[in-house]
Structures are given as structure tokens and as C-alpha cells.
Amino acid sequence: MTTHTGQMFDTEELVINMGPQHPSTHGVLRVVLRLDGERVVSSDVVIGYLHRGIEKLSENRNWTQIILLTDRMDYVAAATNNVGYCETVEKLMQLEVPRRARYIRTAICELQRIASHCLWLGTHAMDIGAMTVFLYAFRERELILDLFEEYCGARLTYNSMRIGGLPLDIPVGWDKKVLEFCNIMSEKVDEYEELLTHNRIWLERTRGVGVISAEQAIAIGLSGPPLRGSGVARDVRKDEPYAAYDEMKFEVPIGTNGDTYDRYLVRLEEFRQSIKIIRQSIEGLPEGPIVGKVPRLIKPAVGETYHAIESPKGELGYFIVSDGKSTNPYRFRVRPPSFCNLQALPQLIKGHMVADVVALIGSIDVVLGEVDR
Amino acid sequence: MIDTYLIPLLKILFVLNATLVGVTYMVLLERKVIAWVQVRLGPMRVGPYGVLQPIADAVKLILKEDITPTRADKWVFTAAPIIVMVPALITFAVIPFGPVVNLFGRQVPLYITDVNVGLLYIVSVASIGVYGIILGGWASNSKFPLLASLRASAQLISYEVAVTMTLVSMIMTAGTLSMVKIVESQYNAHLWFIFVQPVAFVLFFIGGLAETNRAPFDMAEAEQELTGGFHTEYSGMRFALFFLAEYANMIVVSSVATTLFLGGWLRPFPNIAALSFLGIIPSWMWFLLKTFVFLYIFLWVRATLPRYRYDQLMRLGWKVLIPVAIANVVVTGIVMVLF
């Protein structure tokens, strides 16, 4: 028998199963952690508990029906999914979308971004133990849901876009309410910052936790706020403008250290930029039709296309193949930002403690409906 | 006969019941206060403004199925909540709610007993409670509670040291260990000790938060990480015992802080005759008011601050609180010798 100096006891790693029923895995994410004390040695991320086969289902629905299915992917930002899908089909069919429709789409996308970020901020802060921010953020999200309800009647799954434009014009007075909301929201963002940004405990919990360098972030394929937190100024809205983003003035906030705190700061700044974009799009809303010239039967010619938009979580891309014969897509594939960002989780949590695991799951902001589809 | 048995027994009965009622209403108060901070209403359904909510909660918890996990250590599993609850209650034996008062023609002291080592008694009894948490987490034979009980033990050991060192400086200032005499010495000093020992006060309060497992040091429960921590596997009344013990401990820490730093039952500026109209409010009322202020701060802190991480808490305990507490003892000693 040989004895090793420094190793007096038999040590074993503790395997802990976090999820799929766990308060902080944001849905049905399951993470199998191997712990040394409280430190994570390695981890397996298990997904698929919410798989509904949306991509395969879409191949058996006609082009308009698919909009409804896209709602169910990232269900906290359903309108963004609608916009992404509709624009992909428009690109495939080379349809012209009226300027008014593009402006309203921009406003809706940004309202949705604020709503999604509110949910992220609330749950992220809750995971770190600051529970009041959760209710404050949900209070503002409620205002956005009211606006959406007034626009399209639904509060969560909006089905609010159509190929070639919009199903409805905005209700009378809706633009005023949106501008009013912008005023409220810009005050509330300061309120969130007061509670968290300079809070010592918040700083200690987020600074230097889950650092990911720009090179690593690009190698993994991160997008959205996690990528920008690492200092890469990649934003589909700026780089490949869609809707009416080419006519909007806004900045792309980036971080420097790529830690949880920087990702938090990036998202908070995105609140402000979104408010700015909403103001521009509502104030400069052009008159005109809301639907372009769309054929009665939507049946794109043979071809394939990939189109990406900037969803609140990151780059949301659709790859669609049409065989030109049937009224449904031949192949339908989504590049979900949550799924790609989740790839970084094992690398992020390695060497950190159990408490940081939940902070990091919150920090990359995943929605399991989109991860599993 | 009456003085030796009947009155002490009545007092024990009264304090015990008052504490338990106070604890249940503390839970309601917490829900209400946090709700108001979070622009909600809190419990509103049971009784006007939800005032009967504690009764509904108690009924619910008693009627719930009491589950013991099959692989749990049954004896320890059953004993753990009791080990947590009992010390929390018996500390009230030495808390002075008021001075000796004239009640129905009889001289009755408003405390159950005045032990000459009262403070030491509180420190030692209060530290038994942590065994319940450690054993409860261990006996559940489950991984999350186990991690939580490891956290709890590490946390409580490090904070016990800091708090006890703080108390040492208070004992030096007051020159006694008896809780009643500590209040009297504040009367004689014409000052509440919070003005004499402000550093000790801050240390004691932070240590108190950590010792009672309250936010931002509630790592042992941390529902977001450990799904409830040491009481994950507990249900029904056994869970309620853990829950009530936490609030009872909060009341203990607040009462001790009131006695040590805020002059216990004394009214503000007890020696200034011009303020004697404050004496309209009876002494025990002053005590309860001051305790309530502390309890409110406990809730306020919980609603505001995020949670520390376990290693950061240990660093704060060993590298900041304990050195400062020891320095405070040394400075107190030097000042006492020189002046």
C-alpha cells in the first residue's frame, strides 16, 4: 500500500442533480454537478425536457400557421420570434414590407426586449438573493404586457406578425401610451441600478464570476448580451439591420471583463437604448399601409435562406428551405440563441461554487422553450 | 409559596405563550413588511388585512402529512427540530422586559430570573441551536440539506467567535454579566451603551444577522441554490418548528441588542427630569418598542440586500469582524485603564 502525502482521507466527489425541478434553473434545465466541497469540478447540462418538435411540426404546417408555433419557442419574447420568422419568409419570397409596418415591428421588438430583460433582471437578482428587484421588474413588465394586450389581444404568445406586414394597425392612442411607458421605464431603470449596481454584495457576487474572454466567447458561438459583455460589439441590429433599425440611432453597449457584472451592465444599458429606439420609432412613425403586396397563396419559389435577427437573448436565426411545390416549408431550422449560449455554461461554472451556478445560469439568460424547441 | 412557585410559573407560562404568539405574528409582519417594500399587499384574505393568517398557517401546517424520508435517520431527524426550538425559547428566561414593578400590591420583577451570568447563559444556550440545523441536514440523508448543514456549521462557528468577542467588550463596559445589572449600569452611566460602544453595536448586529441565518447571510436555507437548505426534507409541524425557531432567534437577538445597547426597559435619556413625561409609556413597552425597531431592520435588510456567497461570508467573518472585535476589546481595555 502506498500513501500519498497530503491525502489522508478517501475523498469522493459529490454528484448533485440540479433540476429539472429546481427553483433556479429557469424552467426545466437539468445540470448534473460534480462537487468538491462546494466547488464545481465538472458538470453535464441535460436538456430536452421541453422538446415539442417545433421544427418538425413546422414542416407540416402552412407558412402562416408557423408564426403561431414560433411564439412557443422563446415565450418571454414571442413577438421577436414572429418578426424573425416573417422576415425570413419575406426574404425568401423577396417581399417588400411597407415602412410603417417596419417601424411598428421595430417598436414591438424593442418593447419585447425590455419585457424579456425585465424578466431576466428579476430572476437573475432573485437567484442572487435580491428578491425585491424581482417584483419591481415584473411591475414594469406588466405595463408592457398591457400594451401588447391592447395591440393584439394576447399577453404572452402574441402571434402578432404576418408575412409581408402586420395583422393590425396600432389602436388609437396606443402610441401615446407607449411614449408614456418610455418615460416611466427610464426612471425605473435608475431605480434598479440604485438597488444593485453599486451594492457591495451584488458586486462581490457578480464581479469576476464566470469570466469568458472575447476569443472564447466567439469560439463557443455566443451571441447577444453574453458576447457583448466580453467586449465584442456584435449586434445584428447594427451589423445586418432588419425592420427599421437602419433608420434608428442607437449604440451597442459592450463590456470589458466578460464577467457576470459586465453582462448585467450591458443588459441594463440595453434597457436605455431600447427606450431610445422605441421613442424614435413611435415619434417618427410614417403613414401608409401595414401589409405589402402578398400573394393570396403563400408559396415561395424553390430556394433556401438564412436570416437572423437580434432577439433579447442573442442572434435568433431561421433557416428555411422551400421546394416550391407545397404550401409548407421543406426544411425548417432555428438557430436559437439560448441553446447556443447554454453551451458556455459548463465552461463558465467550472471552479465556481454552487451559489455561482445559479447566478451564471441567470447571467446567460436562457429560456428552455427555446433551447429544446 | 406564592412568591417562590406560583408567580415564576405564571411568568414562564406568560412569556412562553407571548413568545410563541409573537413569533407567529412576526412571520405575518415579515410577509406584510416585505410585501409593502415590494409594492404588494401581502396576506389579505384571512381576517381583516390578513391578521388571522398565522392561525390559518398553523392549522395548515398541523394538518399536513408529516413525512419522514425512508432513508433518513429517524431519531435524529425527529430530534433536530426540537433541538433548534427549545434553546430559542429558553433564552427568554433571562431577558429583562422591565424592572421590579408593583403588581396587585406585590413586588414583581418583569423578568423570569436574573442569573448573575445571564449573558454567558444566552451565548451558550443559543449556540446549542446550531446542532439542530447540522443534525437535521445530516439526518435527512439528502444532498442539498447536507450541503446546507455544512454551510450552517461553518457559518455559525465563525460568527459565534465575533459575537462573543463583541460581548466581551460589552461586559468590560458594564462590569457585569447579569442582564438586569447591565441595564442598571446604563442608567448609572446616564448613557445608552450604543453611544459608548458604537463599533460593538455594528459588529453585534451583523453577527446577529449571520447567527440567526437571516438575509443577507441566509446561505443555509438559500432556496434559490439549495432548494430550502437544511429543511428541504421536512414537512408539516416539524418544518414549522425550524421556521418558528428562526423567528424566535431573531427576537432573542433583538432583545439582547436592546438590553445591551439601547438601555433595555429605560426610556430615552432616563436621567433627564425634563423628559419624565416619557415615563407615561410603561417600561416593558419601551423594551418592546426598541426590540421592534431591531426586528423591523431585520426584515428591511432581507427585502433589500442580495445574498452573500458562503466563502465571502467566511472571509467577512474571519478577516473583518473577528479582528475588529478583538481590536475593540483591546481599545476598551486601554480606555478603561487610562480613564
Q: Which ipTM score applies to this complex? A: 0.80
H and E: helices and strands count for chain B: 14, 2
Placement of cell 431600447 in the chain: A274
Q: Please choose, from the candidates A116, A109, A151, the residue with its C-alpha nearest in 3D space to the C-alpha of residue A243.
A: A109
B219 at A interface, C-beta within 8 A: yes
A36-41 contacts, C-beta under 8 A, 24 or more apart: A36/A11, A38/A353, A38/A354, A38/A355, A38/B147, A38/B150, A38/B151, A38/B310, A38/B311, A39/A351, A39/A352, A39/A353, A40/A349, A40/A350, A40/A351, A40/A352, A40/A353, A40/A354, A40/A357, A41/A13, A41/A350
pLDDT (tens digit, 9 = 90+) per residue, B252-297? 889 988 888 888 787 777 777 767 777 777 778 888 888 888 889 8
Q: Does residue A5 carry a pLDDT above 70?
A: no
Q: Does residue A4 carry a pLDDT above 60?
A: no
State whether B37 and A132 contact (CB < 8 Å).
yes
Q: Which residues pair with A36 in a beta bridge?
A: A39
Q: Please choose, from the candidates B204, B206, B225, the residue with its C-alpha nearest in 3D space to the C-alpha of residue B216.
A: B206
Q: Are B79 and B135 in contact (CB under 8 A)?
A: yes
Placement of cell 463557443 in the chain: A220
Q: Does residue B203 carry a pLDDT above 50?
A: yes
Q: Please choose, from the candidates B89, B119, B112, B88, the residue with its C-alpha nearest in 3D space to the C-alpha of residue B182.
A: B119
Q: Which CATH number fits domain A54-372: 3.40.50.1820, 1.10.645.10, 2.40.160.20, 3.40.190.10?
A: 1.10.645.10
Q: Are A148 and A75 in contact (CB under 8 A)?
A: no
Count of CB atoms situated within 10 Å of the CB of B13 = 10
- Grid cell digits, residue B221: 436555507
Chain B hits for A129, Cβ within 8 Å: 215-216, 218, 222, 224, 305-307
Between CA A168 and CA A157 the distance in angstroms is 16
User: Of all helices (H) and strands (E), which one includes residue A107?
Assistant: helix A99-127
For residues A312-320, average pLDDT? 91
Q: How high does pLDDT run on average in chain A?
A: 87
Q: Please choose, from the candidates B118, B130, B125, B133, the residue with its C-alpha nearest in 3D space to the C-alpha of residue B87.
A: B125
Handedness of CA B258, B259, B262, B265 (dihedral sign): positive
For residues A336-361, average pLDDT? 88
pLDDT (tens digit, 9 = 90+) per residue, A132-152? 888 899 989 999 999 999 988
Q: Does residue B156 carry a pLDDT above 80?
A: no
**How far, in whole angstroms, is CA A54 from its chain's centroid?**
18
State whether B224 and A16 contact (CB < 8 Å).
no
Q: Please choose, from the candidates B177, B139, B179, B132, the residue with its C-alpha nearest in 3D space to the C-alpha of residue B156.
A: B132
Count of CB atoms situated within 10 Å of the CB of B296 = 14
The answer to whether the peptide bond before residue B216 is cis (omega within 30 degrees of 0) is yes
pLDDT of residue A277: 92
Which amino acid, A277? I
State whether A129 and B215 contact (CB < 8 Å).
yes
Q: Does residue A9 carry a pLDDT above 70?
A: no
Which amino acid, A117? H
Q: Does residue A3 carry a pLDDT above 60?
A: no
What are the residue ranges spanned by the domains of chain A? Answer: 54-372
B37 at A interface, C-beta within 8 A: yes
Between CA B173 and CA A229 the distance in angstroms is 53
Of A195, A201, A354, the CB nearest to B216: A201
Interface residues from chain A to B (CB-CB < 8 Å)? 14, 16, 22-24, 35, 38, 125-132, 134-136, 139, 195-196, 199, 201-202, 204-205, 353-358
Which amino acid, A296? R
Q: How high does pLDDT run on average in chain B?
A: 84
CA atoms within 13 A on the CB side of B249: 26
Placement of cell 431585520 in the chain: B298
Q: Does residue A1 carry a pLDDT above 50?
A: no
